[in-house]
Amino acid sequence: MKIEGAHDIPVPRQKVWEAFLDPEQLRQAIPGCEKLEALGNDEFRAVMKVGVGAVKGTFEGKVKLSEKNAPTSYRMAVEGSGGPGFVRGETVVTLSDIDGGTRVAYSADVHVGGLIAGVGQRMLGGVSKMMADQFFNRMSELLQAGS
């Protein structure tokens, strides 16, 4: 499943870049994220509660950042599993300057399996997009409050 989008954040690019690499900022912004701890080498352990339709559960997994090109782009690999199944994916995040702030564009390729895959592609896509919007809106709020 491919998910793409872009969000404008009215904060300078360097500040956005730093926030997107800060485990505490990320934990606060990721919907359902209960824990995000740095393991070193740009790897993090994550615990998230996620619900799609009637399928709800806790996922545990890892997030790894690579190909960092500050403050322009990076690649993020995610894999996790839990009661509702598994999720695996890769996202390329690109930051660019716009009038009054930063545009954050993302392009993700996500694979899900198990019970959660049974809810259907359309619902998964809708929930994924909604979670991405919640994440970017919350990150924007956190950044603006901190500036």
Q: What is the mean pLDDT of the chain?
A: 92
Q: Where do the structural domains in the chain lie, given as residue ranges?
A: 2-146
How far is the first Cα of the chain from the last one, in angstroms, to the nearest whole number?
A: 36
Amino acid occupying residue 36: L
Task: Write 23-28 long-range contacts (CB < 8 A, 24+).
Answer: 25/139, 25/142, 28/138, 28/142
What is the rounded CA–CA span in Å between residue 144 and residue 102?
A: 12
Q: What percent of the chain has pLDDT over 70?
A: 99
What the block records as the tokens of 138 is 């919350």
Strands (E), the chain: 2-9, 33-40, 43-52, 55-69, 73-82, 85-98, 101-113
Q: What percent of the chain is modeled with pLDDT above 90?
A: 74
* CATH 3.50.50.60 fits domain 2-146: no
Enumerate residues 6+ apart whose C-beta is below 8 A from 50. Answer: 32, 56, 57, 58, 59, 84, 116
pLDDT tens readout for residues 91-131: 999 999 999 999 999 999 989 899 888 887 778 888 888 88
Beta-carbon contacts of 86 under 8 Å, excluding residues fewer than 6 positions away, are 79, 80, 112, 113, 114
How far is the CA of 7 from the CAs of 1, 16, 36, 125, in angstroms? 20, 12, 23, 18
147 pLDDT tier (thresholds 50, 70, 90): low
